[in-house]
């Protein structure tokens, strides 16, 4: 069952929205030549059953195969299909930014192009919007081709993020979500360049819900989301939405001070009772090594924050559009 659950307490009551709307589906692509056609057909078949108008905006994020040719064929044959070509590979989140900036409509749905985000779930998301929700997230209950080790690591990472994050990041979330135009516009006002929409969309507030789904196997090819991308994703979640790593210095410093005071009390007490304290070369070496390791670790944490500040200060664009083939669907 795909049941909607409120993500957080509603800031204001739900209001039923009327029938009729324009839905823009945004799909980032990277080397998805064999999948873009079947994906477009499934999306069109699902949306055709609903009382609304729709369009699809594909964002080609530096593909090296024939994805652009497949997109041009779809664009030529169907005036509801548009696409952007980024000047190089900027990354998944940057491709999402490009789609949200260039899409038009009343409702925006972002999803991946590997068919692990089933188009058959679109009516559930749209129904949540009609109920009055401004943001509808999805959460993976299971993934057919997700290994045991990666599944355990993912669960642990999301739990750690939940402990330190200042926003309610949806556990096992993906970039398969619905945004009302007001929520989309709010997200677009975010000034940061390094964006993580799994954190930004909960941060903007509004009326938010989440729905679970079972992710099928990838329809073809190999996943482009490897260990490096996962580590980068969770690293951004830690550093972008929490200052907890910075407070590690306070905790470590307080613990070191407490240890020194405790040892001083021990030495004074031993001297008061006439006990001699033998020299502890091993203890000294361990203490020096431990303190040096802690210092290096904290310097590394500070370096990560400084690097992120440097990236933001440079104000380089999140993406560059090399080519835009967009049909006018909604004048708004």
CA atoms of 57 and 35, how far apart (whole Å): 15
Give the number of C-alpha atoms closer than 13 A to the C-alpha of residue 44, restricted to the C-beta side: 13
Orientation angle between helical segments 244-272 and 281-314, nearest 10 degrees: 160
pLDDT value at 207 more than 60: yes
Q: Which residue has the tokens 């009343």?
A: 106
pLDDT in the model for residue 42: 93
pLDDT value at 16 more than 60: yes
pLDDT interval class at 296 (50, 70, 90) = confident
CA atoms of 161 and 173, how far apart (whole Å): 12
Kind of pairing between the strands at 4-6 and 135-143? unpaired
pLDDT interval class at 332 (50, 70, 90) = very low
Stretch 208-226: mean pLDDT: 71
Q: What are phi and psi of 302, to 5 degrees?
A: -60, -35
pTM: 0.74
CA atoms of 127 and 4, how far apart (whole Å): 10
pLDDT in the model for residue 247: 66
pLDDT in the model for residue 234: 64
**pLDDT tens by residue, 62-100:** 888 889 999 999 999 989 999 999 999 888 888 999 999
**pLDDT tens by residue, 307-317:** 777 777 777 78
Tokens (6 digits) for 42 = 């499934």
């Amino acid at each position: 069952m795909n049941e909607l659950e409120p993500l957080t307490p509603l800031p204001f009551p739900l209001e039923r929205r009327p029938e009729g709307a324009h839905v823009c589906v945004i799909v980032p692509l990277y080397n998805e030549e064999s999948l873009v056609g079947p994906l477009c057909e499934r999306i069109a078949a699902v949306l055709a059953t609903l009382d609304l108008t729709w369009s699809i905006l594909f964002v080609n994020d530096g593909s090296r195969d024939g994805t652009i040719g497949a997109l041009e064929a779809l664009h030529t044959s169907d005036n509801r299909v548009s696409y952007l070509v980024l000047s190089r590979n900027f990354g998944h989140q940057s491709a999402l930014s490009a789609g949200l900036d260039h899409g038009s409509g009343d409702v925006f749905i972002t999803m991946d192009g590997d068919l692990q985000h089933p188009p058959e779930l679109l009516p559930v998301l749209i129904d949540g919007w009609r109920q009055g929700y401004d943001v509808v997230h999805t959460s993976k209950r299971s993934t057919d081709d997700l290994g045991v080790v990666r599944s355990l690591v993912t669960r642990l990472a999301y739990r750690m993020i939940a402990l330190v994050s200042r926003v309610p990041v949806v556990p096992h979330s993906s970039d398969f979500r619905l945004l009302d135009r007001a929520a989309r516009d709010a997200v677009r006002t975010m000034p940061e360049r390094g964006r993580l929409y799994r954190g930004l969309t909960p941060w903007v507030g509004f009326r938010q819900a989440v729905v679970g789904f079972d992710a099928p196997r990838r329809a073809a090819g190999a996943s482009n989301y490897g260990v490096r991308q996962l580590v980068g994703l969770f690293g951004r979640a830690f550093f972008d939405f929490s200052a907890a790593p910075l407070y590690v210095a306070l905790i470590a410093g307080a613990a070191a001070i407490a240890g020194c005071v405790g040892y001083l009390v021990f030495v004074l007490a031993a001297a008061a009772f006439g006990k001699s304290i033998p020299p502890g070369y091993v203890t000294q070496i361990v203490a020096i090594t431990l303190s040096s390791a802690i210092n290096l670790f904290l310097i590394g944490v500070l370096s990560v924050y400084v690097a992120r500040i440097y990236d933001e200060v440079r104000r380089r664009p999140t993406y560059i559009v090399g080519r835009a083939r967009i049909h006018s669907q909604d004048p708004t």
